[in-house]
Structure 1
Amino acid sequence: MAAIINTEVDTGERRIPVRIYRPALTGEPKVVVFIHGGGHLSGSVDVYDPVARHLAMATGNIVVSVDYRLAPENPYPAGLSDAKAVIENVWSLLDSQHIPYTRQLTLIGDSGGGAFSTTLAAYFSREQPGFIHRLVLIYPSLDYTLNWPSVQENGTGKLLDESKIRWYFQQYFRNEEDRKQTSPLYLPLSQDFPPTLVVSGGLDPLRDENFAFVARLQAEGIPVQHVHFPGMTHAYLMLEDKVPQEAKATYLAIGDFVRD
């Protein structure tokens, strides 16, 4: 990695920590905003540093990793608002650091970060069509209702179990929000929704909602690619030393999609 910069996005109301990864000091790379997972109440740029480094190397892009506020101290929609603010200010952020770049933005999120990424891709595709060039979702959380067979099928004895997911969502939604209405899977999508790559695992409780979102994009004529690993559980990129081949294949697929 050529350079790593810890800085902040100042919204005027609050300062949002970010970490910028520059894979090379020459040229004008395109840009990724990465929103980490953790069920909206765990994770950080430090925890996800290895993933962000891999994404920068795989894509050749500058990666801006967002250290958004976490529940339960900061429930819905605090973290989502932080991620939105970083995306809105990403060009001025890079300008302030005197980092040359090309104005082409990919949004990448894993797990809970995939929920934020999908929600924000839907928002920006309506409000600023074309602003998000590509969307990459890595075993994303897309349906807060959890009404899918895979939640029960894969919800015990795995890295992520059903009881933990439900507890996460109880901490995140503190004001009786309509969980279906806030679920990315059911949001209205415009025809300007960005081409999307979905990465899923067969042993993941979230498997079925991942497949459902792919099917929805296909039905609505939105370009989508789906890379599925039948033997992988949720968050397998955090276990890279245990599943090196699958992790490598995932980053290669992401790199190919983003560079396309």
Structure 2
Amino acid sequence: MTHLPPAIADLIRPDTVLKSTPPPALATWLAQANRAATQARERGLPDSPQAARDGLASMTRRFCGTGPAMAWERDITAGPENTPVRLYDPVPDLPKPVCVYLHGGGHMAGSVAVYDPICRRLAAAGNCLVAAVDYRLAPEYPYPDGLTDCLGVLVHLQEALDAAGCLTNGHLSLAGDSGGGALAATLASLLRRHQSLRLDRLLLVYPSLDYTLPAYPSLQENGTGYLLETSKIRWYFDHYFQQGEDRRQASPLYMGMDGLPPTLVITAGLCPLRDEGLAYLQQLRQHGIPCQHLHLPDMIHACLNLHELVPEACERIYQTMTDFMHA
């Protein structure tokens, strides 16, 4: 087992494999992606927000397909900023739970359009109405603009759903992956002070939870060669926080756990963000928050965007999310 600080290591059973070799199809693609990245650096091609957006969109389009058809879908707006929201309803004539989904992309990349197949799969697997939020992105809209968008959508979502004729049963989950997981965890903390809105479940998929980037072992051992690299995480954060904000104060990991809803945390063994997910779990347990952990030792960050390469892992994630929402 990889050496971890005792507080984190305590979360892993002695017989648990923390990380393992990626499956062959994923390993082959990673080797190709790493060669391409090396060649780009050798040619002096600079990182840019547009390149990050194009890369995530291209990868997802290549490996996620179109996702299942929905019986009903609609684009609406919600909140004070009239933030775009896409609704996916697999069975529109029956009341069902709502899952607000916040896409990943380091607060810079991703969109509802890019994550369309992922949201379709979640709605179909979970028999839930998925509301995917197209929040604003850095660097054009730095912290806290995207967070403000998502908060406004959550507070005003039910009235928007009622106006769209959606049938819901009053059960509300909030989910997100990567940077979207950071937003979801932050919002769950903020909403503890909201009198009229209650989250029933929080679901975090390989989330970013600590903007301070301390010396987690996973940031070093998984920091290169597994798609998301530690240097790129810093680059994302530097574009997100542009006014010298206190990054610790903005980090969900340091916002306190009391009053949070039951929480699912999904971690990947080869992800640089793995250990902050484990640290978050430890705090949830210490504060008596009901929580569940799914750990995938042979997966990398953003594996949901690589569905055709790792279908079994993706289906396991969707099923775990479904079971947790309906528990």
* TM-score band, normalised by shorter chain: over 0.9
Q: Distance in 2 between matches of 1:129 and 1:157?
A: 45
Q: Distance in 1 between matches of 2:226 and 2:188?
A: 30
Which range is displaced more, 17-26 or 201-210? 17-26
SS across alignment from 1:132: coil
Structure 2 partner of 1:57: 124
Q: Which stretches in structure 1 are left out of the alignment for 5+ residues?
A: none
Q: Distance in 2 between matches of 1:215 and 1:129?
A: 29
Letter in 1 for 2:100: V
Q: 1:127 to 1:10 in 2, by over 3 A?
A: closer
Structure 1 partner of 2:272: 205
1:96-115 matches, within 5 Å, as 96-115=163-182
Letter in 2 for 1:157: G
TM-score (norm 1): 0.96
8 Å contact 1:109–1:137 — kept in the other structure? yes
Letter in 2 for 1:227: L
SS across alignment from 1:189: coil
8 Å contact 1:40–1:71 — kept in the other structure? yes
8 Å contact 1:125–1:194 — kept in the other structure? no
* CA deviation profile, 1:64-88 (whole Å, cap 9, x unmatched): 0000000000000000000000000
Structure 1 partner of 2:192: 125
**Deviation (angstroms), 1:10:** 4.7
**Deviation (angstroms), 1:130:** 6.7
Q: Distance in 1 between matches of 2:195 and 2:187?
A: 11
SS across alignment from 2:168: coil
1:165-244 matches, within 5 Å, as 165-190=233-258, 192-244=259-311
8 Å contact 1:130–1:194 — kept in the other structure? no
Moved segments of 4+, more than 6 Å: none
**Deviation (angstroms), 1:237:** 0.5
Q: Distance in 1 between matches of 2:76 and 2:93?
A: 21
8 Å contact 2:206–2:265 — kept in the other structure? yes
Structure 1 partner of 2:183: 116
Q: Distance in 2 between matches of 1:129 and 1:10?
A: 15
Structure 1 partner of 2:20: none
Letter in 1 for 2:246: D
**Deviation (angstroms), 1:34:** 0.5
Two-structure CA RMSD over aligned residues (Å): 1.1
Q: Which stretches in structure 2 are left out of the alignment for 5+ residues?
A: 1-69
Q: Distance in 2 between matches of 1:209 and 1:10?
A: 31
Match of 1:146 among 190, 204, 213: 213
SS across alignment from 2:175: strand
Give aligned pairs, total. 257
TM-score (norm 2): 0.77
